[in-house]
Every structure is written in structure tokens, then in C-alpha cells.
């Protein structure tokens, strides 16, 4: 099984979706967004990223089938980017 950072790096999503998420990354509020996206819990960054990746895969399947809410997908990508930042920072310290 790949670590969460490798899985995040391997994601291939439409450039417009990723660009929209980049606009939201500076305002990422983990305490506010994570409970809405993956439920309550004291998730560390690795566990949160894994749960977000699973949820994002579900949303991506919906995007491909047409039953889709882009705003939720952007939120998930923002959260993934935020958790990736936390994981990278933890590796450097």
C-alpha cells in the first residue's frame, strides 16, 4: 500500500479543478472542513489524507458518471492539499 503523499501525487485531475483548489488552500481550516468531509474525529494528517483520498475517489467516480457536485470536489482537493502540507512539514521536522 502506498503512503498518502504518494497517492496524492499520483492523482490526475482536470487542471481547472486543481487550479480552483489552489485558490482555496491558503484558507484551509482543518477543524472546520474535515468534520464535514470525513466525519468527526481526531485524525492525524496521514489518517485524514487516507480518508480524504477514499472520499475523493467516490466523488471522482461521480464526476465521470455525471452525478456530480464540483464544489464538494474542490473542497476535497483543498483538504488533500492541506493535509499533504502537514505531512510534508512533519517529515521535515
Q: Rounded distance, CA 33 to CA 59, Å?
A: 16
The residue among 62, 51, 71, 39 whose CA lies nearest residue 7 is: 51
Q: What is the pLDDT of residues 27-45, one digit of tens each?
A: 999 999 999 999 877 789 9
66 DSSP assignment: T
Domain boundaries, given as residue ranges, for the chain:
4-92
Q: What is the pTM of this model?
A: 0.91
Q: Are 80 and 49 in contact (CB under 8 A)?
A: yes
- CB-based contacts of 53, cutoff 8 Å, min separation 6: 4, 7, 8, 80
Residue 7 in grid coordinates: 497517492
Cα angle, residue 84 at apex, residues 62 and 59 outer, rounded to 5°: 5
The model's pLDDT over 54-84, given as tens digits with 9 standing for 90+, comes to: 999 999 999 999 889 899 999 999 999 999 9
- What is the radius of gyration, based on Cα positions, of the chain? 13
Amino acid at each position: 500500500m502506498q503512503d498518502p503523499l504518494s497517492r496524492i501525487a499520483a492523482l490526475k485531475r482536470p487542471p481547472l479543478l486543481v487550479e480552483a483548489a489552489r485558490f482555496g488552500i491558503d484558507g484551509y481550516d482543518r477543524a472546520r472542513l474535515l468534520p464535514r468531509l470525513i466525519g468527526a474525529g481526531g485524525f492525524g494528517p496521514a489518517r485524514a489524507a487516507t480518508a480524504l483520498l477514499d472520499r475523493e475517489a467516490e466523488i471522482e467516480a461521480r464526476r465521470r458518471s455525471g452525478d456530480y457536485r464540483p464544489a464538494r470536489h474542490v473542497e476535497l482537493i483543498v483538504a488533500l492539499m492541506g493535509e499533504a502540507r502537514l505531512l510534508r512539514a512533519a517529515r521535515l521536522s
